[in-house]
Amino acid sequence: MLIALTLILSLLPMGRAGAEIFGFQDRNGFWHFPGPKSTKRDPSGAQSSQKDLEAFFQAYQISIREASEAFGVDSNLIKAVIKAESDFNHRAMSRKGAVGLMQLMPETAREMEVKNPFNPAENILGGTRYLAVLLKRFDNDKPMALAAFNAGPERVEACGRVPAIRETRQYVNRVLFYYERLRSKAE
């Protein structure tokens, strides 16, 4: 019924922005929207990208600090992952079904005990827990752990290095770039 309602609403004459928001809800309750692979959509239609990252850091500072302390992950690395994954948009959704600030897949969210991946505090806690697991699994090798965060740990272990997947290599480089910038600002 929900899919039919979504289809009917998408056919009604609307303004330009309203006509672009359509999709379906899967059996786990997650919304999916069509679009290019790299596009992360906000189901509310709000624009989340802002130039002033400090405002975002302030908004999530407590959650990031708590997650950092709980799992022993550098807060600058957490911020860098959030910046690369969602640009600090807690409503972000990927075409593949990853959601929230740290773009958790539904299965990963369940494994990390995240009940509501759109809740910023839960998402940061679960994403950091997962990042800590990956850092431990890859002997604190940040590029390998980040590649596993993006492409999956089994794929990284199978090749023994950052896989030759363009998206994954770009992702690792982007996160490390943000991480170094954040660390240099903190010094």
The yes-or-no answer on residue 20 being catalytic is no
Q: Following DSSP, what letter does each residue of the chain receive, concatenated?
A: -HHHHHHHHHHS---HHHHH---EE-TTS-EE----TT-EE-TT------S-HHHHHHHHHHHHHHHHHHHT--HHHHHHHHHHHHTT-TT-EETTS-BTTTTB-HHHHHHTT-S-TTSHHHHHHHHHHHHHHHHHHTTT-HHHHHHHHHH-HHHHHHHTSS-S-HHHHHHHHHHHHHHHHHHHHH-
Q: Which of 54, 69, 85, 187 is catalytic?
A: 85
Catalytic residues: 85
